[in-house]
Amino acid sequence: GAAVGGASGERQAMQAHVSIILPVHNAEPWLDECLRSVSQQDFEGTMELSVFNDASKDKSGAIIEKWRVKLEDTGVHVIIGGHNSPSPRGVGYSKNQAVAQSSGSYLCFLDSDDVMMPQRVRLQHQAAVQHPSSIVGCQVRRDPPDSTERYTRWINQLTAEQLLTQVFTSNGPTVIMPTWFCSRAWFSHVGPFDEGGRGVPEDLLFFYEHLRKGGGVIRVDQSLLLYRYHPQAATHSVLEATIWTHRVRFLEEQALPRWAAFTIWNAGKQGRRLYRSLTAANRHKVVAFCDVDEKKIRKGFYCHEDSQERPKPRIPILHFRAARPPFIICVKLDLTGGAFEDNLRSLHLQEGQDFLHFS
C-alpha cells in the first residue's frame, strides 16, 4: 500500500504545468467526447485534469472513472472531487473546488459539454506565458452552427482593442468562459468565482473584477473549442435584469467618470431604460439622446416622468448627425442590416474614446 501511495504522492509533488478545470453536473450525453478531447491534446508539458462532480444523478461519475484510467495511462494526472447531496451547489462553487484541488501553474477552463481541439492547451499556454496577467481566450465553432450566429460572430471577430472596449455589452465577457486560460497566480489575485449559485452570472462578475485589477484580455485567433448550445445550459437561468444591473454599475464605475457629458444613442426603449437606470449624478451628464427615427426627433425631447426633480428634466432628442460625442450606444449591432454601423462609421469616431457599446 505504501508504495502505491508513494507513487501518487510523487506525481502530486511534480507540479503540472497546466490544470484543466472541469465542473460536471449531469453531463452524461457529452462527457465522453469532452474527456476524449483532453486525452488528444498535443501539449508537450505536464497536464492534470481536475474534475468536480456537482451532485450528478446520471452516469457522469462512472464515465469520469472510466476516463481516469485512460488519462492516467497517457500521463495526465486526474483529481476527482465532488459531493452527492440532493442538490447541486452551482457552477461557481464547482469551479472554485476544481481549482482548489488542482496544482498546475496555469488553469485551462473547460465545460463538460464542449470539445477542445488538440492544439488548444499548447497554443493558449504559449500565449499565457507571455501575458501573465491576462485572460487568454480563443475562437470557437458553435454547435449547432446556426444556433447563435450573431453572438458567435461577435466572439470570433472582435479586434484586439474591442476585447477591452466592448466589455459593457449585453453579450458578456469578450472572451467566453469555456475558452478561458490564465495563470493560477493571476486567478488567485482576482478570484474566486461568486458561489451564489443559480441565477448568478459568475463568469461576468469574475471578468469585471479581472478588469478592475488591470487584467488584460487576449484571444488566440484559431478555433480551439467546439462550443455547444443547448437549452439546459446553466447560462439560461440568469435573469436579464440581474445582468443589466451589474452592467450599468460597471459602466458607471469604469467608463462614465472619464466623461463630463455624453449622449445616449437610441431614443427608444433601451436608451430610455439606460437613462433611468443611471444614478442622479450620471443622469445629469446626459446632454441628449440621438436617433434616426424622425418621429422621435420631431417630438424634440424625452421627459423623465418619474423624476423627483422639479421641473422634470427634459432631454433633447437629436438626429445623430447633430449630436455630440461621446456616445453610449444602445443599438444592437447587426440588427439594422448594416445601416447603423454605416452611420456610426460615417462619423469617424474612435471606439473607447468617443463611443462605447452598451447594447
Same topology, domains 18-238 and 241-357? Answer is no
Which phi and psi (to 5°) does residue 219 adopt?
-135, 135
Instruction: Tell me how far apart the alpha carbons of residues 24 and 348 are, in angstroms, rounded to a whole number.
Output: 47
Which pLDDT score is estimated for 232?
62
Instruction: Tell me how far apart the alpha carbons of residues 262 and 246 are, in angstroms, rounded to a whole number.
Output: 20
Fold of 18-238: Spore Coat Polysaccharide Biosynthesis Protein SpsA; Chain A (3.90.550)
Provide DSSP, 84-145: --SS---HHHHHHHHHHT---SEEEE--TT-EE-TTHHHHHHHHHHH-TTEEEEEEEEEEST
Q: Predicted confidence band at 175 (pLDDT cuts at 50, 70, 90)?
A: very high
Domain residue extents for the chain: 18-238, 241-357
Q: What mean pLDDT, rounded, does the chain reach?
A: 93
Which phi and psi (to 5°) does residue 229 adopt?
-110, 125
Instruction: Tell me how far apart the alpha carbons of residues 356 and 81 are, in angstroms, rounded to a whole number.
Output: 42
Q: Predicted confidence band at 55 (pLDDT cuts at 50, 70, 90)?
A: very high
Does pLDDT of 186 surpass 90? yes
Using a 10 angstrom Cβ sphere, with 0-12 exposed, 13-18 middle and 19 or more buried, the burial of residue 14 is exposed
pTM for this entry: 0.94
Does pLDDT of 140 surpass 80? yes
CATH code for residues 241-357: 3.40.50
End-to-end C-alpha distance for the chain, whole angstroms: 60
Specify the range with the lowest mean pLDDT, choosing from 140-144, 176-180, 198-202, 290-294. 198-202
Does pLDDT of 336 surpass 90? no
User: Strand runs (DSSP E) across 134-215, as ranges?
Assistant: 134-143, 181-183
Average pLDDT over residues 22-39: 97
Does pLDDT of 35 surpass 60? yes
Average pLDDT over residues 125-144: 97
